Amino acid sequence: MLLIDQDFLPQATSLIKMATSHICISTFKAEISPQPRGRRIFAFFKTLYEKHKSGVKVDFLLNWNSQHRAVPTCNTLTLRELKAQGINIRTLPNNRCCHAKIILVDNAKAIVGSHNLSIASTRKNFETSYLITNKVSIYRLASVFKHNLENSTTPKI
């Protein structure tokens, strides 16, 4: 299923809500903002926290760079917030850019595309993503995510 522009966030939130065992997320930019213009993305993160607190494992890969090159400013706050929530937040080694946008739930469904977890991506940018249910594609995506997670590090802020 093709998700264009503002179709993404409702589908992503629905995917998180259906999780029963494991959520994998990878993104370049994540913005947690309680401001009125960010309330929909804030609700997405609240749903993620609730799932984590209910026992669903959450692995989150976020773009980070020790020299802060090509790192969205909001990622610092997001790293701190996700750590405070007890979520397994990781970054790629050797300042490698994490540009993949993935939400993978229970190795059964995934969203892959251009949407960051940010206000601009969910409100005004031209973005496209796909909801994937094909078992072969999901297996490959899960393998790639697992490999990158195993080779990732805990960020030092």
The answer to whether 45 and 38 are in contact (CB under 8 A) is: no
Token pair listed for 150: 């195993």
Which residues does residue 60 pair with via DSSP β-bridges, in sequence order? 25, 89
Give the tens place of pLDDT for each residue, 10-19: 999 999 999 9
Stated pTM of the model: 0.94
What is the distance between the alpha carbons of residues 43 and 38, in angstroms, rounded to a whole number? 9
Domains of the chain in sequence order: 2-150 (3.30.870.10)
pLDDT digit string (tens) for 55-75? 999 999 999 887 767 778 889
DSSP 6: G
